[in-house]
Structure 1
Amino acid sequence: MDDGCRNGPLSRGCWNDGFSINTDFDVDWPDTGNVVQYTLDITNTTCSPDGGPERLCFLVNNQSPGPTIYADWGDTLQITVNNQLQHNGTSIHWHGIRQYLSNLDDGTNGITECPIAPTDSKTYTFKCTQFGTAWYHSHYSAQYGDGITGGLVINGPTTANYDVDLGTYFISDWYYDTAFQVEDQAADNLQNRAPAPPGDNILINGTNKNPDGGGAYDVVQLQQGYKYMLRLINGAVDNNIRVSLDNHKLKVITNDLVPIVPFTTDWLLIAIGQRYEVIIETDQPIDNYWFRAEVANACASGNKFYGRSIFRYDGAPDSDPTSIGTDAPGGCEDPQSEPYVPTEVPKEPFAEQLGYLMVDLAVEQVTTNQENIVVWAVNMTAIDIDWDKPTAQYVKEGNESYPRTYNLIEVPRAAAWLYWIIQEVEGTPIPVPHPMHLHGHDFYILGTGTGTFDINTSIDQLKFDNPPRRDVALLPGRGWMAIAFQSDNPGSWLLHCHIAWHISEGLGVQFLESKEKMPLPDGEWERVCTNWETYFNDYSIYPKQDSGL
């Protein structure tokens, strides 16, 4: 596209100054010089988003989901978080953001920072090198399940045209007990090899009616004859969810922060933490239409109810829809997508090193061959961090005596491709699909399968020519997933299951990447840690009861 091409309803693939949808954002991005500032105040109250029982909840700027943060591709975001909670620390993770050369702003307490103590503040600063739909949430145990979430939009080009951007649209589960209460129930159930408690409802954009008819539906107003972009976010703690809009196709143009070749579908499975940008064409008669959100039972997700909202054409009556939906499909696999900017993942290093890989994938472990391969054989418990001494502090001190419970490895090769084999081992207490999320990178999904990855034959099932790419993907229950990404972002990064109860119980691993080039804690970082230690040691009424993540 030429340098004069500008983004508009008929030219959404353009951006400006020679940047467009064809730009490889791994290596090039605008530098606007703009610093976009936000302030987020975290408070606690009680709420009833579906008209059901009132219970303790947390709000961001007096709302949940919190306000959507907006910036343009190439801007710098500077976000100050004020912790006004009474008895809880917090940290805010900017889910999907690469954090290129800004590891300490990833918001992962116990790894990149100490939690923010009550009455304290922290300012996060990072460059928007990508574009699309991300989100933010607390990474302090399961806390985000009580309401600390919000959207994050980086405006940029898209792979299809649209007229109006409707903004972010959250889909999430809701429990009538608090997240920490449900976490305790889930941990007890795990000991008896039983699933976690089901959700009580599914919220759409923070609201829904409950089974008794209380509450209210969210309403989206549309005009006939337009193309609307909707930014779907699954902000649930334990529910993978399918969505559809009666009588309308969903044209999918982005998964996570990766532009893709568009495809259309009636139903879209959104795993926990995933985002999709879809285009809806309002080419139907003027009426009201149900937007449906159904728990994905095939993904071992459970909920007692379902989500509904109303998409209303201008001129339609102010009433509930009578539209009839289609049957939701089964299965628990991510949609197969094709990145718009193609990449060939090198096959040779992986294939060669598999030939002499001496690792038993049936045994729970995380290890590397000291070349390009990392093996993570997953059971349910592994990581348990110390809020008072994050991994970044160890690196600053030059201390390599990392506690075993940090479940940490150092990846050996900078600026090289890393190949991870993630295997759910036999005997896992609850063998379910896991939505795996990677911090500091996104990754190419070379393949997935059931059973144990076979180092001799499974490589024949893998795709290296422009495979799907994203930052959350489903690891099959009793199965494996092979992913690849370039080691090009110094820091300590987390890879974990995004089911809140699972990472709280330890289903995660952290890896050090080019630690000699990592940004190191400064005086402001130390101030936040000192305030946290004072609060936690002298004033906290709640002990740490889980992994801390």
Structure 2
Amino acid sequence: MKCTQARLRQYDFVITRESLRPDGVKTSMILVNGGFPGPTIEANLGDTFKIRVTNYIDDDQGTAIHWHGLFQKETPWMDGVPSVTFCPIAPGQEFTYEFTADRVGSSWWHSHYSAQTAGGLFGAIVIHGASPYTYDVDLGPVLIVGLSAIPYHMRQIALTNNNLINGKMDFNCSSIPAGGPSCTPNAGFSKFRFQSGKRHLIRLVNTGLEGLQHFTIDGHKFTVVGLDYTPIQPYEADMISLTPGQRADIVVYANAKPDSSFWMRSDVDPTCSASSQPHAKSIIHYETANEDSSPTSTKIPYTLTGDCVAQPLSKTRPLVAQPLAPLGPSFVQTLDYTLALNYTPMGAPQFLVNGRRFRANYSQSLLLLANDDGGSEDASAEYGILSNVWDFSYNKTLRMILNNFFVSPHPMHLHGHDFWILAQGRGVWDGTIQGNTSNLMRRDTHQMIGAGADGSPSYLVLEFTLDNPGVWAFHCHITQHLILGMYMNIIYGQDAIKKYKIPASIDATCVSWREFARGNPVEQPDSGL
């Protein structure tokens, strides 16, 4: 086996606000290097990413980039969550992230500052390494983008107005009311190339702000080989569903004639979202197809999964088993998620976790506080009650029983870890683990279904190993739910945290931010993340 020496992979991100028309509708967006989506960053397993991010957004707001799904072992300060791992990158300032490409597969990077992702601040991550499955052509990332026509800075993120693939899609300009934004019809579609008789790897990512997506390719089945960063036992499908934050690696065999063309499609689930234009399309041309013509292929019919479930647990098993601890978890925590109406002084609703709310304090880093604190056992007193810090130190494994009392589903994402998915359903969990405990599905993002029409809560049971000391975010990946505070911080391993040699550049972000905030009142109408 050939051994490849680790390399340094350097990128420069310059973040600005621009007016763009990805689907023909003029929209104010936040972009990296002027492009939408942002650049794909690539590396081999074990390489080092070094990414300089410069904040030139022109309306005096901070920014931050999170590298979704990476463990960040030994570098938890590079996870990119303001108020948690560092302070925001202040206007006119720069920050350099440096961390290891520690997992093989497909993911994305995105802003973790006050819903900037909905403004276009995201892109793909591809990390190459030994593959357990076979393919001939790597087609690259396919980013499914639920786009809102409401400019990000208006802080009214709600529903998906249009659905795009790799940043392109037509929009029905006649649907825009008088006085609305200008619209240019026939904006166009993303295009991909298939080679007859070849197997194509497609790296799917749902980067949307709130919709469950159903992905199909006319005239083709495919093999699902990976979910999030976890290689799975392959299964054949003609449709796959992804909730915001989730990824899938699929292999498609190009079984048509060389002059063929087909539609690639993704639909926002109508039971989970009221998107005004839910159907995304892009074009696949085989090698001799007429590139000036549109496909005439027929859409593959499918049955909705029901309850906004992404992948049923019965279908998915990791390729490499990691069994649960035979004696059970070290600690079990029940978490009740509720929505309180008219909760804030401004009359805004607020998601609560066991009755506790979250609001980021941009002027501090919880990780820095844990690195040099005095050892207080009261997390609320040490870090601030609105930081919603949950301390699970001195445990080896944690089981979380999540109860959702809100009608909407929630794609729950954990930073720095994968979790086992033990059970999901409605009512009160009876303790039954749904599957073989020697090989339960593992991933970093999973959909928790909504509460029942009769008011009965839904539940989702997760478990993970506490083997990566730090302060880690756990939150819903629906943009509006996150900015309404559906978020908590998990801390453990404080003895190890105190020993970390955190780079001076982390504290420098806080010094710069506090200096900026002294002379510029910081608008923070939401949770801040």
TM-score normalised per structure 1: 0.84
**Are the counterparts in 2 of residues 372 and 413 from structure 1 also a CA contact under 8 Å?**
no
Residue among 160, 165, 170 paired with 1:204: 165
Q: Could you tell me how far apart the structure 1 residues matched to 2:426 and 2:270 are?
A: 18
| Superposed CA RMSD | 1.7
| Post-superposition offset of 1:277 | 0.9
AA of the residue aligned to 1:535: F
CA displacement, residues 253-284 of structure 1 (integer Å, 9 cap, x when unaligned): 11111111111111110110111111111111
1:385 and 1:176 mapped to 2: Cα distance? 26
2:296 paired with 1:322: yes
The aligned residue for residue 310 of structure 1 is 283
Is the 8 Å Cα contact of residues 447 and 482 (structure 1) preserved in structure 2? Answer: yes
Q: Does 1:485 align with 2:460?
A: no
Deviation of the 1:300 alpha carbon: 4.1
Out of 236, 254, 269, the position equivalent to 2:241 is 269
- In the TM superposition, 1:136-535 aligns within 5 A as 136-181=109-154, 183-184=155-156, 197-212=158-173, 213-285=185-257, 286-300=259-273, 302-317=275-290, 318-330=292-304, 331=306, 332-335=308-311, 336-350=315-329, 371-379=330-338, 380-381=351-352, 382-398=357-373, 400=376, 401-414=382-395, 416-425=396-405, 428=406, 431-453=407-429, 457-461=430-434, 463-478=436-451, 479-518=458-497, 519=500, 521-535=502-516
2-structure distance, mates of 1:148, 1:242: 23
Aligned residues: 480
| 1:474-496 deviation line (CA, Å, top 9, x unaligned) | 01112111111110001000100
- Please say if residues 447 and 463 of structure 1, whose CA atoms lie closer than 8 Å, have aligned partners that are also in contact: no
The answer for unaligned runs of 5 or more in structure 1 is 5-15, 18-29, 187-196, 351-370
Amino acid at match of 1:491: G
- By how many angstroms is 1:393 displaced? 3.1
In structure 2, relative to structure 1, the CA distance for the partners of 1:158 and 1:508 (3 Å cut) is: same
Q: Distance in 1 between matches of 2:69 and 2:241?
A: 18
Deviation of 1:55 after TM superposition, in Å, equals 2.1
Greater CA drift, 133-142 or 302-311? 302-311
Match of 1:544 in 2: 524
Q: Distance in 1 between matches of 2:274 and 2:75?
A: 34
**8 A contact 1:242–1:328 mirrored in 2:** no
Distance in 1 between residues matched to 2:216 and 2:98, nearest whole Å:
36
Instruction: Give the C-alpha shift of residue 521 in structure 1.
Output: 4.1
- Taking the aligned partners of 2:19 and 2:393, their CA distance within structure 1 comes to 48
- Runs of 5+ unmatched residues, structure 2: 174-184, 339-350, 377-381, 452-457
Distance 1:254 1:206 in 2: 23
Distance across 2 between alignment mates of 1:334 and 1:243 = 11
Measure how far apart 1:123 and its partner are: 1.0
**Distance in 1 separating the partners of 2:204 and 2:125:** 12
Q: Is the Cα–Cα contact under 8 Å of residues 29 and 152 in structure 2 kept in the other structure?
A: no
Q: How far apart are residue 180 of structure 1 and its match? A: 4.1
Amino acid at match of 1:424: N
Deviation at 1:179, TM superposition (A): 2.8
CA distance 1:110–1:289, change in 2 (3 Å): same
1:58 lines up with 2:56 in the alignment: no
Match of 1:459, SS state, is coil
Structure 2 residue matching 1:114: 3-state secondary structure: coil
Letter in 1 for 2:420: Y
Following superposition, the deviation at residue 227 of structure 1 comes to 1.0
1:537 partner SS: helix
Contact 2:38 2:121 in 1 (8 A): yes
Q: Aligned partner of 2:301: which letter?
A: D
Asked if the contact 1:172/1:239 (under 8 Å) is kept, the reply is: no
How far residue 396 of structure 1 moved from its aligned partner, in angstroms, is 3.1
Deviation for aligned residue 1:84: 1.4
Please tell me whether the aligned partners of residues 47 and 100 of structure 2 are also in contact (alpha carbons under 8 angstroms): yes
**2: distance between equivalents of 1:302 and 1:517?**
46
Secondary structure at 2:39 match in 1? strand
Distance 1:77 1:33 in 2: 11
Matched residue, 1:126: 99
Cα deviation 1:346-405 (Å, max 9, x = unaligned): 25324xxxxxxxxxxxxxxxxxxxx42122211223211200012123213415422221
Q: Aligned letter for 2:293? A: S
In structure 2, relative to structure 1, the CA distance for the partners of 1:42 and 1:435 (3 Å cut) is same
User: Helix, strand or coil for the counterpart of 2:509?
Assistant: helix
Shift in alpha-carbon separation, 1:388–1:232, aligned structure 2, 3 A: same
Counterpart code for 1:328: Y
Contact 1:446/1:463 (CA < 8 Å) preserved in 2?
Answer: no
Query: What do residues 420-478 of structure 1 show as CA deviations (whole Å, max 9, x unaligned)?
Result: 111113xx3xx11100000010111111111232xxx3325454220111110001112
Q: Percent identity?
A: 30
**Which piece of structure 1 moves more, 466-475 or 277-286?**
277-286
Give the C-alpha shift of residue 303 in structure 1.
Answer: 4.0
CA distance in 1, matches of 2:415, 2:274: 24
- Which residue of structure 2 lines up, in the alignment, with residue 189 of structure 1? none
Matches within 5 A, 1:26-41: 32-41=5-14
Question: Given that residues 145 and 163 in structure 2 are in contact (C-alpha distance below 8 angstroms), is that contact kept between their aligned partners in structure 1?
Answer: yes
Spell out, residue by residue over 1:116-136, the C-alpha distance to the aligned partner (whole angstroms, 9 max, x if none): 011111111111221101210
Q: Report the equivalent of 1:13.
A: none
Question: Aligned to 1:140, what secondary structure does the other structure show?
Answer: coil
1:45 aligned onto 2:18: yes
Report Cα offsets for 1:303-344 as digits up to 9, x if no partner.
434111000112112211110012232122232311011121
Q: Distance in 1 between matches of 2:277 and 2:253?
A: 32
